[in-house]
Structure 1
């Protein structure tokens, strides 16, 4: 049986990545694609690399007949998704890739996003979509909120360590580098080639990055008390990829053993041998995460380094992984493609 899929916001990077993954998925069939600014155009004119696929043309969301759709991926901008999803059929399963439903507390949403939530009743229903840690909830969910790509990388490094009490909760630093596709496809002056290439800069410095809201929510819930990490993201002149270097206080061997044990049965999370560091080039275009642990020269300190592809494991691949669970499919279905190298 093939499940009928709609992708809302298919003209953006995460939408195109969803199409790329689902194109060879044995249990999903794309029946509708929306892209308001590109409505009426064939997908191949928006993304020529997909011209070999037999895809429906892009339309406006209101033109889609959802009566025959089993699940919709919502790859729309932040603050747009909540209004769109609120207007969808109440029994339609939805995986949202925006930030609109990630934070459970409406006050936290307003703090980090600057305005009240437009669909608080749906916010209560939404399940946080970090698949490896919320599987049972995701299977039963109607609405799943995909994580932030930076938030996913940091959590893969830290969740098992916080749960096991293996690190000092008051001494955690996340230093993260991200490719430019994480900023979306809309034209922005600072993302022009001449503005971005041959440079490397921190952004949202201090306490302003919105993914801090996810870290606060998830790490504090795990620890049973407030946990606030230091987090600085950097934009690098690369199209794809996230490399998070997480500095922690704890025994490096215990940290490695804790992560290796926690992820031993996980198909997409691979802990490297002690002392090895991962690279974004080794996970490019895949749903895999590579995790390394390296001891610091100071005793009792370590670095946990995580590499993921921001568009795949950090967003669209994670979304398909969640959809597989929601539709009763094998979790890895359509997602075992090897990384693209070199």
Structure 2
């Protein structure tokens, strides 16, 4: 430390003091995009404290508007989106970004409405939270050059930035927990028009295809009258028709709760006779008996990552779009045998 004070510090000194790589220091000092605002500020603070010459960079961060589908945010998935919004707010505060949230019906996500919302919020960038833009809206966003980040969403054409859980690999892992436990006839209860949920279906199908002799059955749900209730009713009917199915991977934990109730009422032991894996690690997962085995989505991290993507987009409007996937982590529970909780 004393040696550094007696000479002009180098980037390697700043890297050591800040606990980051030299390349990260170099990128921050060059004001390059792709570095989180918290890391950027930390490095600049360390550099200033030790006399490293830093060029003053004035950056006025444009405002952001997050639109959330009201059906999702006010329904059973409200707890899921609450955590995402917490991450968005925290990330925006760290970046000094003026930020607003608005609930909208998906039938009011046409360009004329979006433009009005953004103008009223004085927003430069748009976050679509749990909303897949229509072709009309996507064309308008591209034509107007509106900085846009899909949060818990993905653009199949990769023309818009986005962040989401790793839905394909998460579903693959969830299903593999069941096949590794010896199950060969597995249900997948699902249902949605969203690209993210289709990725979970693909992950399920890939995991089934990877195991010789395994058979998977997609069970589409309509979500009329509540996910848990419908899952319960469909599972009762399916097991009455064909009791050969011994496991289920569920699109989310609400559905898994309904399956667990149906299986228990049928007199089957969980996990000995029937195993279940959910998805999202929602609060209800710790309330079941036994505790639900599920897959954890770091929802707050999705929000923070979305802010970082928007900051990068503000800095370079012409950069190729990026999509960031966050790993989905298995959560141990009592609905899959212990030896298979990976």
- What TM-score results when the alignment is normalised by the length of structure 1? 0.28
- What TM-score results when the alignment is normalised by the length of structure 2? 0.28
Larger Rg: 2
Where is the helix percentage greater, Structure 1 or Structure 2? 2
